[in-house]
Amino acid sequence: MVGFENAKKSDNGSNNKNPLSEAVINLDQGDPKVFEEYWRKMGDKCTVEIKGWEMMSYFSDLKNLCWYVLPELDQAIRGIHAAVGNATTEGRYIVVGNGSTQLCQAAIHSLASLHSSHPVSVVAASPFYSTYSEETSYQRSEIYRWEGDAMSFDKEGPYIELVTSPNNPDGTIREQVVKKPDGNAIYDFAYYWPHYTPITHSPDHDVMLFTFSKITGHAGSRIGWAIVKDKEVAKKMVYYLLLNSIGVSKESQIRAAKILNVMKETCQSETESVFEFGRDKLKKRWEMLREVVDQTHIFSLPSYPEAFCNFFQKPIQTYPGFAWLGWNEESDLASLFRNQKVLTRPGSMCGSDNKYVRVSLFSDDAVFSVFLQRLASITTDSIH
């Protein structure tokens, strides 16, 4: 009952009044502020110093197909995957991008350009990460077109399926659902890390996307990477990056390399591992959230099976960074939360129903606690 009682506690009468109690809180975006506490504790371990004359060139390593990537970042990426066991990198190309958002566009463009018939359909099983539909449609490309839910996709011709596992917004483990010839899959593994989900195997798909944003919380560095099997696809992605941004900031790369190396060194430590920190934080948040949801009798949350985690060497639960919250009413759940001054992502943006919302659990503690209080204050009487 700890979560519910804490959540119900009124701000009036409490000694430490939360300054956010009247504020609009934004849980629509997945801004990973939750990790700041951890990095503050790590102090100067990840501080990098860059002199005025360093890293001025566009280029980094002309022997690498991805010529703008710093060798230390390429090695750090391979190193963290080897330490965690969540992707095969041996003999694969690492293409670094300005976040995995840019790489997703580069991968779609590159794969689509390999097909002879256009436009190539782009699909993802609902509920999907809402940015996919936005970024794919926004481009108005002649060679690919957003076609929505992969579950109901029945068009002829080439297609690209975006598979997010664990899924954003609902945390489920996903595999490709379209099983037709002439298709490609892009696996988005933004959340396939031990703080969110059991690491059950080391995937080796043709194109896999990872983002620095959700491993360490350094979303502002804008670093993501793709692990790519096919040389032609990797080359085309690098060419896209050349035309789109002429590579990726060296300052961000050097910082990411440093942080990934520190993560690797500390990942087995019970006191210093970011995975232990993230897991513990999200576990507590999910426990509190489930308790409040159970008490309200209004909302529902998905449940997740336990699985053996090769990284932690024990069976563990999934604790996603987003809650896929639903209710049984026919009306729009996001507007109920808006009335409570809580911004959430409506289910319809994820190709689903507005009976669902996606709530970010990546906020700092103060915002999360205000969210629980507001959730706990919603009663059956107050909504009718």
Ligand X SMILES: Cc1ncc(COP(=O)(O)O)c(C=O)c1O
* Binding characters for ligand X, 4-43, by CB under 6 A (x = yes): --------------------------x-------------
Among 88, 101, 113, 176, which residue interacts with ligand X (rule: CB under 6 A)? 101
* Binding characters for ligand X, 154-173, by CB under 6 A (x = yes): ----------x---x-----
Sorted by sequence, the CB contacts under 8 Å of residue 326 that are 6+ apart come out as: 299, 300, 301, 333, 347, 355, 356
Question: Which uninterrupted H or E stretch holds 222?
Answer: none
The tokens of 14 are what?
A: 């409490």
Binding of ligand X by 129 (CB under 6 A): yes
The b-or-e profile of 87-118 (16+ CB within 10 A means b, else e) is bbbeebbbbbbbbbbbbbbbbbbbbbbebeee
Give whole-number Cα distances, 209 to 14, 49, 357, in Å.
45, 29, 25
Q: Which is nearer to ligand X, 97 or 198 (CB)?
A: 97
Binding of ligand X by 112 (CB under 6 A): no
Sorted by sequence, the CB contacts under 8 Å of residue 14 that are 6+ apart come out as: none
Residue 193 CB, shortest distance to ligand X, in Å, is 12
The b-or-e profile of 356-370 (16+ CB within 10 A means b, else e) is bbbbbbbbeeebbbb
Among 3, 79, 99, 346, which residue interacts with ligand X (rule: CB under 6 A)? 99
Give whole-number Cα distances, 173 to 152, 198, 250, in Å.
19, 10, 34
Binding of ligand X by 320 (CB under 6 A): no
Residue 117 CB, shortest distance to ligand X, in Å, is 28
Q: Which is nearer to ligand X, 129 or 319 (CB)?
A: 129
Binding of ligand X by 188 (CB under 6 A): yes
Cα 374 from Cα 133, distance rounded (Å): 31
207-211 β-sheet, strand order: 93-98, 223-228, 207-211, 183-188, 159-164, 120-124, 144-149
Q: Which stretch binds ligand X (CB under 6 A): 12-20, 83-91, 96-104, 249-257?
A: 96-104
Q: Which is nearer to ligand X, 100 or 340 (CB)?
A: 100
Cβ-contact 221, 212 below 8 angstroms: yes
Binding of ligand X by 122 (CB under 6 A): no
Among 60, 64, 89, 100, which residue interacts with ligand X (rule: CB under 6 A)? 100
Residue 100 CB, shortest distance to ligand X, in Å, is 4
Report the length, in residues, of the chain.
384
* Binding characters for ligand X, 200-239, by CB under 6 A (x = yes): -----------x-x-----x----x---------------
Among 120, 190, 228, 254, which residue interacts with ligand X (rule: CB under 6 A)? 190
Question: Where on the chain is the footprint of ligand X (CB under 6 A)?
Answer: 30, 99-101, 129, 164, 168, 188, 190, 211, 213, 219, 224
